[in-house]
Amino acid sequence: MSIICNPVDLPYRYQHIVQPNGIRTVHREGADPSIVRFRNRYFAFVSMTRGFFHSADLVQWSYKYTDALPAFDYAPDARVINDQLIVTASRTDGTCPFFRSEDPLTTGFVEVSAGSFAFFDPSLFQDQDGATYLYWGCSPIEPIYATRLDSATFEPIGERHAVIGAHPDAHGWEVPGESPLPEFQTEEERAIFDLIGGRPFIEGAWMTRHEGTYHLQYAAPQTESNLYADGVYTAPTALGPFTYSAHSPYSSKPGGFITGAGHGSTFRDEFGNWWHASTMRISVNHNFERRVGLFPAGFDSDGVLFCNQNFADYPMRIPRGPIDPWKDPFAGWMLLSYRAQATASSWQTNHSPELATNEDIRSWWVAGSAQPGQWLELDLGTVHTIHAVQVNLADHKLSDFVTERADGADTMAGYRAIDPGFHPTQLRVEVSADNRQWTTLSNGSLTDSAHQLIVPDEATAARYVRVTADTPMPFGAPLALSGVRVFGRGFGSKPAPVAADIRRHSPTHVRLAWPDSPNAVGYNIRYGIAPDKLYHSWLVYDQAELDVHTLNAGEKYWFAVDAFNRNGISTGPISEAGI
């Protein structure tokens, strides 16, 4: 089995943006993934890419530039319709065209319909009888709509139907905000909240049919939030009537190194396993600075759609056959680098070395010089068995190093240009048991990679890990690392299990508190509306309490708090929260 680690290491494209307030940013971005398997290959269409990504195995992805598709239309949707790959995307006015390909890698795309109206966040779906449908919507006011299309011309057939609207009073996870109470870290976050009037965006539709039931998925409350998630409504037909699933959100990742798991796609691999791809947020350089996550998914014996997002930014196996999505994907390697002592060749003010080990992709160490040879070193405290190292590059004030591009267009983010060029880096990763003799884990070729995962053929016993930039960084900027994450196993004992005290303060709010387990590094809170269906999880560090405001009103919930450290996970007892 091959190993990946979220965020998915796509060759994300650099965005050159001049915001309406005049601020210029340069950063990588990729969001709203639409992944399909076509002609024995996986194709990922991702916002602001000027092309698409493709892979044979969901592990190694390549970038394919094309000027045949609109470069600046958000949320491109791809589906196999009549054994051809059909792509469309979002526009606020005019019409949205449809494109067809029989082989995206060789013959490219041709426009087959200019479209007849404008839509945002589209999702095509072809039923088993050949009927084709379109779902669309992205608004804090308007619902998600659905209509049937002609399968050849993509013209609407019949009326449009309003199928999903916002219900934040009953669906706590739909409430906008970070906590979501809401708390604002920046004036930009407050301005966005005020702009939408505190209402959630209901967006990012995706339809999946499973054993005669139609699962219409949607995202809320907003892409900039750690609570960005996907819910689901089910129906007996493609146009409804739709019933809300109380297991929503079925895709949610509010805690950990990188957060957010909304607006994506659900698909099957070549072995019949289900996967869900979605949008994860950084939102530091720009509120649309985002990444792509991939999670095991499936349907339980009652037909409930779920994602397994326990430890969802830890290393995960990509199988070569059918799997149990709850047992098989997790590699079993624990995080060894949290709060590890970090030293560096140099650093800039407010970007010191410890920011590379705090498990927060939104903060980073920045070298004080742009010269090659800058390094960051971690001391894990004692020797551990190291199985993998994930090196996460950050984009720090890149607009200071690159001139404004003129090949862009006006978008909702401001004037934007998308750089399709290859921007390689070469990072040397070494480990040592004694800080004197070093073993090289990776000194690989130049790669256009922002989230490289190094998995050596054999595990290594080591205490120290060092990352060195052997070549200049893109645009001549200093080396910046948001996370050097080391995974493996310690040689000690797992933490003592804990039991949580649970208080339900409102229909959508529960507060949990638990005794601090002395040897724990963190806690994974699992919860759901049945004791055998704890389909949600929330990973935390350095805390022994959690406010969960994301519940569905009128539903009982069950919770378990699992303590973990470098040596493993100790599951906690399951307790009922009541209504």
Model pLDDT for residues 91-131, shown as the tens digit of each residue: 999 999 999 999 999 999 999 999 999 999 999 999 999 99
Mean pLDDT on 454-476: 95
pLDDT of residue 177: 82
Nearest C-alpha neighbor of 473 from the set 397, 363, 406, 361: 397
* Residue 541 phi, psi (nearest 5): -125, 150
Mean pLDDT on 511-527: 96
Place of tokens 């943006």: 17
Mean pLDDT on 223-250: 97
User: Cα torsion for 63, 66, 70, 75, to the nearest 10°?
Assistant: -20
pLDDT of residue 374: 97
Check if the beta carbon of residue 376 is closer than 8 Å to that of residue 473.
Answer: no
pLDDT of residue 28: 98
Percent of the chain's residues with pLDDT above 90 = 94
Residue 207 confidence (pLDDT) above 80: yes
Mean pLDDT on 397-425: 95
Cα distances (Å, whole numbers) of residue 544 to 68, 159, 524:
52, 52, 11
176: left (phi over 0), alpha (psi -120 to 50) or beta: beta
Average pLDDT, the chain: 95
DSSP assignment letter at 150: -
Residue 352 exposure: Cα atoms within 13 Å on the Cβ side = 7
Domains defined for the chain, CATH in brackets: 31-318 (2.115.10.20), 334-489 (2.60.120.260), 501-578 (2.60.40.10)
Cα distances (Å, whole numbers) of residue 379 to 332, 392, 467, 536, 568:
22, 18, 12, 33, 20
pLDDT of residue 445: 73
Residue 206 confidence (pLDDT) above 60: yes
pTM of this prediction? 0.96
- For residues 198 and 368, which has the higher predicted lDDT (pLDDT)? 368
pLDDT in tens, 274-298: 999 999 999 999 999 999 999 999 9
Question: The dihedral of CA 115, 268, 230, 210: what is its sign?
Answer: positive
Residue 65's pLDDT band, with cuts at 50, 70 and 90, is very high
Residue 180 confidence (pLDDT) above 80: no
pLDDT of residue 263: 98
Residue 1 confidence (pLDDT) above 90: no
DSSP assignment letter at 425: B
Buried b or exposed e, range 149-175, using 16+ CB within 10 angstroms:
bebeebeeeeeebebbebebebbbbbb
Residue 196 confidence (pLDDT) above 90: no
Residue 195's pLDDT band, with cuts at 50, 70 and 90, is low
Check if the beta carbon of residue 296 is closer than 8 Å to that of residue 323.
Answer: yes
Mean pLDDT on 389-417: 96
